[in-house]
Amino acid sequence: MKSRLVALLVSVSLVSAVQAWATVLPDACGDDKVKFDVSTQKAQPAPAPPVAGKAQIVFIETMDEENLAFCKDCDVVARLGLDGAWVGANKGNSYFAYTVEPGEHHLCTNWDSPRAFLSQKVGVADFTAEPGKTYYFQARFLIKMVDIDTAQLEQRLDLTQLSDDEGKYQVKISALSTGTPKK
């Protein structure tokens, strides 16, 4: 009886520790409790330039075919954070644009997935926005076989700034994403 009680207490504390670890996000992200419903529309025009005195960030999520083979039915949403708050989300090969004030900004992406190993992946970046400029950032989940004998995989979520040409091209071949926070 005593050993079962000890096992139960250890299990509860491990579950609590795993749950606490899974919700620790960088300061650039938003509250982990915020989830998004995402819809996408193909063949949409490129975003309009930023309004006078502002800058624009275009968040792009890309899914490589070889990575999808490792992650069938993952059903993930990439949340995008700016300076400590979620500003939108993408699903699949999609993008959305967001207007920002000039100055230094800190970005975060996190995959919101029912699969715990995906939800723990985070990408961060920072940049200084100038008025009238558009900045393209790509969230890309990478899966690579590390050891074929043990089927060990390396998984990471990268958030990288793209050149204007690459960003415009990715927008052309991606769907427009609309992320709405769930209530």
Nearest one of 96, 90, 94, 59 to 76, comparing CA atoms = 90
Q: pLDDT tens digits, residue range 106-151?
A: 999 988 766 665 667 789 999 999 999 999 999 988 777 777 777 7
- pLDDT tens profile 19-69: 434 458 888 888 888 989 999 999 898 999 999 999 999 999 987 655 555
- The pLDDT value given to residue 13: 37
Residue 9 reports pLDDT greater than 90: no
Q: Which run of H or E residues covers position 159?
A: strand 152-162
CA 28, 110, 88, 136 torsion-angle sign:
positive
Question: Looking at residues 167-182, what average pLDDT do you find?
Answer: 94
Whole-structure pTM value = 0.79
**Structural domains of the chain ordered from first start:** 26-181 (2.60.40.2890)
CA angle (30, 182, 159) in 5-degree steps: 40
**Could you give the CA distance from residue 84 to residue 30 in angstroms, rounded to a whole number?**
5
Q: What rounded mean pLDDT belongs to the chain?
A: 81
Give the Cα separation of 57 and 136 in Å (integer): 6
